[in-house]
Amino acid sequence: MRRILPRVRLGLLGLLVLGLSAVMVSLTGGSAQAPVILRVGIAEEPDILDPTLARTFVGRIVFASLCDKLYDIDQNLEIVPQLAEGLPEISPDGKTLTIKLRQGVKFHDGTDFNAEAAKFSLERHLNLPGSRRKSEIAQLQSVEVVDGFTIRLVLSAPFSPFLAQLTDRAGMMISPKAAQALGDQFGTQPVCAGPFKFKERVAQDRIVLERFADYWDKDKIFLDQIVFKIIVDPSVRLANLKAGELDLFERVRPTDLDLVRADPNLVLSSVSSLGYQGLTINIANKEGFNKPPVQLDTPLAKDPRVRKAFELSIDRKVLNDVINNGEFIPDCTPLPIISPFYPQGLVCPERNIEQAKQLLAEAGVATPLKITLMTTNAPDAIRTGEVIKSMAAEAGFDVTINPVEFATALNLQDAGQYEAFLIGWSGRVDPDGNIHQFQTCGGALNATGVCDPVIDALLNEARARSNNAERAKLYATAMDLNLPPDISFLSRRNIIYLWHAVNFVALNQSVTGFVAVPDGLLRFKGVQKR
Amino acid sequence: MRSVVKAKPSRPVLAEKALPQRRVWRLIRRFTRRPPAILGASVILAFVVVAVFAPWLAPYDPQATNWSKIRKPPDPQNWLGTDDLGRDVLSRVIWGARVSLLAGVVSILIALLLGVPLGLISGYYGSWIDQVIMRLTDALLAFPFLILAIALAVTLGPSLANATLAIGVSAAPGFIRLTRAQVLAVREEEYVQAARALGASDLRIIGRHVLPNSFAPLLVQATVSIAGAIIAESTLSFLGLGVQPPTPSWGSMLNVAQGFLQQAPWMAWWPGLAIFVTVLAFNLAGDGLRDALDPKDY
Amino acid sequence: MLQFLIRRSLISIIVIFLVTILVFVSQRLLPGDPVRVWVGEERDPESIAYFRHKYGLDEPIPLQYLRWLSLALQGDLGRSIRTGIDVREEILRRLPITVELAVLALIIAVVIALPAGVISAVRKDTTWDYIGNSVALFGLSVPNFWLGIMLILFLAVQLHWLPASGYVSPWEDVLENLRRMIMPAFVLGTGLSAVLMRQIRSSLLEVLKSDYVRTAYSKGLEERVVIYKHALRNALIPAVTVLGLQAGALFGGAVITEQVFVIPGFGKYILDGVFTRDYAQVQAVVLVTAVGYIAINLIVDVIYSIINPKIRLEGAKAE
């Protein structure tokens, strides 16, 4: 019985040693090859790489290197020309924009960028069946070619956020030749005028771009290749950066920041984002979001005092400390605090359990008041729900957390089958993009079913005015917490805003020249890797 | 959960129904002769007691948050440390036993209850019944386990009971295949052929000969599958198809701990250890049961 | 044997049909659809309607199925609605990666489980047995995510011995391929080895007590000969069954491992497909894994009859 065992053991040991040594023998990593490859970790899989059809945030990160736009924004949220020569000439009635285009720009297929190409691109964004840009630039009536490098955009009505739209996908220029040849498959082989051109894509794994030799601003490009690696888990992204498999990655989880700061090889870049996290409370979306609003029969939906009590039960600062390690920016408005439109002198209400209890008593609701809070099943969303549940309990709310997979959550929200939903917004440069569609009657993203004519009038007026000071005043009124709920949407509390995220990018110290911009996109012009 | 403990000693009774009382006692005696088996059974019993008496045993409310004690390592107040929301990990592990044992053990019992009879029929009778059962089994097995469980749980509606059922049904095809394979091997043994020649009924042959002799691999598979079932519960809960947070389960505690493996490693240790000890205990007890049941061992 | 193979192949085709129908219907039972998920928080009724129509999602399900089937039979598995990527290309790219990972994991599992199972059984109730069992069950209980991250932090971040993630084709660089595959294969293999080891131990114990093994011993045959020539052969049946079952799981179920090591295999592809409701993607993967799974189990059935000639192959029998 005994004789066989040592041999088995020996054999096993031998195999292990053999395997390990075979694998670990070659430790030679870096080589002195010429091409400079930047490996970038991104948090999700981008959708189709067609600027007209795309919608994901992470897709915009790839587009930032692939497709240049008429305009761009800088780190101060200023709109700056990119493929345009300068800011547009706007007619006094605000309905005509004349844009001079940059000359000597080539698309990746070698064709020239000119007024015809710009007209083609904008018209494609407007007219391609299924276009996602159509609603962004719906006011665009026609595009006229003035001369070889000048276009004139005619709007149906003055629309001050229009220029901001041209700093995003709606302003991306695509090669007419390639677009005509590829049709709706353009996204599998995109041809634009950005500093890098499309090389290959492996679904859920990577997107590879390579340097475009004829880029108009090629002196500022110091990279030969960019590999976007899709790594969903933040801990895995961080481990890969530390192991040297990545040069940088976006969306460092706030709770991981201390690990990044503690590592002398890593550098952290941060900038406040344009978006917000919030609690969307269903007021009158009973039949589905396309249907006329019908008031829900819950205390939370019926009585603004109950919603105010709910808000007062939440301590935004502690919430931010617990969930985000205190690294994000607690706030009660949809606008980032860096925005020039952020209401001056606004003070967010502090947690006040006594007042919350009193409001509930005034509203005559029996406590504990049951509330179902739907969240997506992202771990941090569930954790946020748990903290809110714990805080709101002290004021007399009994919150049930209902984590739902994203696709299902969207469906329930569309159908109006939710009471409160923890969902954020990635944010837009112009304040209109964070407010109008959510807060106006019948707005495209109005999932709460609210409908108050005064608020609508204020917000409609704000998008028509072109004077920033006048616009800021209108927004300040619509966000005045001292005004009643039918004038100020912050008092209406159909969305209780919680915080603004900060975009953290962790870089290996060998990467220099990176500048973070509030829109969270990664721009690699001027970026070098030693 | 109580049914879990009962089910263990009761299975041999099921297998050897015809045995007189005396033999059952001998079975228990044989089981209790082995120290590892006793150890395993005691641990299972202890965990069931913990689960049942969680409200009295847990030092704190498992859902009580403490903002000033976020992710603190073990100390005299919180013996196993605190989690990301300042909750006591020990209390959560104790309460988590309820959900995890239920989901882990009951779902595997369901899988056995579905899988074993179908596998027996398929393997013993062969011919077209075998074909129908096995091809359906193949079709289900070709689905990744989790996808099947998700589809079932969505259809049944979200609750712990439904999640458990979904896990059990999704795990059943494996047991069908395993049972059938054993039956095929046993069916041709001389003693079975002899019993058949002597005119024993099918039921008697299956009950007295085929099932007891097919038992060992099923027992092993059942006991090792518990770990997977406990994890599957947390995945379904994570998708909103099981228990709702902040109700603790070992699997969901592990899910959250994944985000803090470096910052607060203890958040993963304790629920992980609980799963390991549970699985180990069931395997030891399973081994003891197998030995006690072994018809060849006198 | 030939008759058996032909008959089983024909039946397998029916099974695969069954599987495709099951997938097709079950996916459409889930709330939401690919277009709505893709559009996300932004609602845009016009473009939603356009894409629903374009991809035939507004048609009755049986008609959608027939359309998918007729295209699939011609080798066209459709495109991902979300990314526009050709699903067949993606499947072909992932197939070798998935197979390699599964095979490596199986090898690691067998290399660990076979000797460990034999030692545990032969030395039943000794320290060796207890250690073997505990280690195996520990491997089973340790979550893949935890083990994966720990390996990366230790071997890749601390020691810089192995790369943290990614896949390199063996045709490009065999050594680099192995360096990148060894950690994920190990993570997958440990869980599997526990299941295998426990089965081998259990059935070997069974066989060691049987009459013919006792006879063999009484004839004075050497232990090694008894175990390897007689006992192990018979003890392998449940282990082979479990191996067959697990092969299916390895094929489409290595989600966590693929995610941690950033390997473009089937597991994550199918799960993402489920969550984004990318029907074409899920259907294609299940179709391929079903074919693979059924082929493996056909082989398993053949192996039974080789291990134990007393087991007749169904279809080849006379009754």
Residue in the block written with tokens 């099981």: B242
| A103-107, A261-265, B90-94, B143-147: least confidently modelled range | B143-147
The chain B residue lying nearest A382, using CA atoms, is B245
pLDDT at B165: 94
CA distance A205 to chain C (A): 6
pLDDT, mean of residues C34-41: 82
| A42-56, A269-283, C3-17, C60-74: least confidently modelled range | C3-17
Token pair listed for C237: 């049946």
DSSP B74: P
Tell me the pairing of strands A502-508 and A266-272. Answer: antiparallel
Give the model's confidence band at B13: pLDDT under 50 very low, under 70 low, under 90 confident, else very high. very low
pLDDT at A274: 93
pLDDT, mean of residues B192-216: 81
Cβ-defined contact of B240 to A400 (cutoff 8 Å):
no
**Rounded distance, CA B175 to CA B115, Å?**
5
Give the model's confidence band at A103: pLDDT under 50 very low, under 70 low, under 90 confident, else very high. very high
CA distance C240 to chain B (A): 10
Contacts of B152 (CB under 8 A, 6+ apart): B165, B166, B169, B170
Tens digit of each residue's pLDDT (9 = 90 or more) over A344-393: 889 999 999 999 999 999 999 998 999 999 998 888 999 999 999 999 99
Q: Is B19 exposed, middle or buried (0-12, 13-18, 19+ CB in 10 A)?
A: middle
Give the model's confidence band at A33: pLDDT under 50 very low, under 70 low, under 90 confident, else very high. low
**Rounded distance, CA B237 to CA C307, Å?**
42
Instruction: Mutation target for C interface from A236, A256, A276: give the one with most C CBs within 10 A.
Output: A236
pLDDT, mean of residues C259-267: 89
Among candidate residues A45, A53, A68, A69, the one with its CA nearest the CA of residue A182: A53
- Write out chain A residues lying below 8 Å of B86, CB-based: 322
Which of B135, B151, B287 lies nearest to residue C14, judging by beta carbons?
Answer: B135
Among candidate residues A108, A114, A125, A133, the one with its CA nearest the CA of residue A189: A108
pLDDT, mean of residues B38-58: 94
Contacts of C91 (CB under 8 A, 6+ apart): C77, C284, C285, C288
| A157-161, B24-28, C71-75: least confidently modelled range | B24-28
Report helix, strand or coil for A506. Answer: strand
- Write out chain C residues lying below 8 Å of B126, CB-based: 314, 317, 319
**Res C213 pLDDT > 80:** no
Residue A363 host element (H or E): helix A353-363
Binding-site residues on chain A for chain B (CB distance < 8 A): 233-235, 253, 255-256, 258-259, 318, 321-322, 377, 379-380, 382-383, 385-387, 389-390, 400-405, 408
| A3-7, A87-91, A123-127, A228-232: least confidently modelled range | A3-7
| Chain C 235-294, residues with CB within 8 Å of chain A CB atoms | 259-260, 262, 264, 268-269, 272, 275-277
Which of C123, C164, C275 lies nearest to residue A407, judging by beta carbons?
Answer: C275
Among candidate residues B56, B122, B147, B112, the one with its CA nearest the CA of residue B225: B112
CA distance C175 to chain B (A): 30
- Write out chain C residues lying below 8 Å of A185, CB-based: 84
- Write out chain C residues lying below 8 Å of A243, CB-based: 152, 156-157, 160, 163-165
Neighbours of A165 (CB within 10 A): 26
Cβ-defined contact of A379 to B86 (cutoff 8 Å):
no
Tell me the pairing of strands A495-500 and A277-281. Answer: antiparallel
Report helix, strand or coil for A132. Answer: coil
Tens digit of each residue's pLDDT (9 = 90 or more) over C219-247: 777 777 777 766 777 778 778 878 877 77
Cβ-defined contact of C274 to B147 (cutoff 8 Å):
yes
| Chain A 284-343, residues with CB within 8 Å of chain C CB atoms | 289-290
Cβ-defined contact of B85 to A322 (cutoff 8 Å):
yes
Tens digit of each residue's pLDDT (9 = 90 or more) over A63-74: 999 999 999 998
**Rounded distance, CA C228 to CA A129, Å?**
68
pLDDT at A461: 94
Q: Is A375 exposed, middle or buried (0-12, 13-18, 19+ CB in 10 A)?
A: buried
pLDDT at A283: 94
Which of A23, A240, A414 lies nearest to residue C164, judging by beta carbons?
Answer: A240
C173 inside 8 A of chain A by CB:
no
- Write out chain C residues lying below 8 Å of A408, CB-based: 30-32
Residue A268 bridge partners (DSSP): A506
Tens digit of each residue's pLDDT (9 = 90 or more) over C129-142: 888 888 888 888 88
| Phi, psi torsion values for A214, nearest 5 degrees | -100, 25
Task: Name the residue with higher pLDDT: B2 or A501.
Answer: A501
Cis upstream peptide for B246 (omega within 30°): yes
Cβ-defined contact of B216 to C202 (cutoff 8 Å):
yes
pLDDT at C316: 37
Cα separation values, B209 from B124, B203, C199, Å: 12, 10, 20
**Which amino acid, residue B53?**
F
C160 inside 8 A of chain A by CB:
yes
pLDDT at A31: 44
ipTM (interface pTM):
0.85
CA distance C142 to chain A (A): 18
User: Chains that contact C by 3+ CB pairs under 8 Å?
Assistant: A, B
pLDDT, mean of residues B129-158: 83
**Rounded distance, CA B239 to CA A404, Å?**
6
Cβ-defined contact of A407 to C153 (cutoff 8 Å):
no
Which of C83, C178, C222 lies nearest to residue A47, judging by beta carbons?
Answer: C83
Cβ-defined contact of A229 to C277 (cutoff 8 Å):
no
**Rounded distance, CA A68 to CA A523, Å?**
11
Residue A14 host element (H or E): helix A4-24
pLDDT at A501: 95
What is the side-by-side order of every strand in the sheet holding A89-90?
A89-90, A96-100, A150-155, A140-147
Residue C6 host element (H or E): helix C2-29
A412 inside 8 A of chain C by CB:
yes
Among candidate residues A163, A433, A72, A291, the one with its CA nearest the CA of residue C41: A433
Cβ-defined contact of B70 to A322 (cutoff 8 Å):
yes
Cβ-defined contact of B259 to A404 (cutoff 8 Å):
no
User: Chains that contact A by 3+ CB pairs under 8 Å?
Assistant: B, C
Report helix, strand or coil for C313. Answer: coil
pLDDT at A522: 94
- Write out chain B residues lying below 8 Å of C293, CB-based: 138, 141-142
CA distance A127 to chain B (A): 38
Tens digit of each residue's pLDDT (9 = 90 or more) over B91-107: 999 999 999 999 999 99
pLDDT at B84: 92
The chain B residue lying nearest C142, using CA atoms, is B272
**Which amino acid, residue A206?**
R
Token pair listed for B259: 């985000």
Question: Is C293 in contact with C285 (CB distance < 8 Å)?
Answer: no
- What is chain A's mean pLDDT, rounded? 90
Neighbours of A27 (CB within 10 A): 10
- Write out chain A residues lying below 8 Å of C280, CB-based: none
DSSP A112: B
pLDDT at C309: 65
Tell me how many residue pairs between chain A and chain C have CB atoms under 8 A apart. Answer: 179
Task: Name the residue with higher pLDDT: A439 or C5.
Answer: A439
Cβ-defined contact of C163 to A405 (cutoff 8 Å):
no
pLDDT, mean of residues C132-156: 87
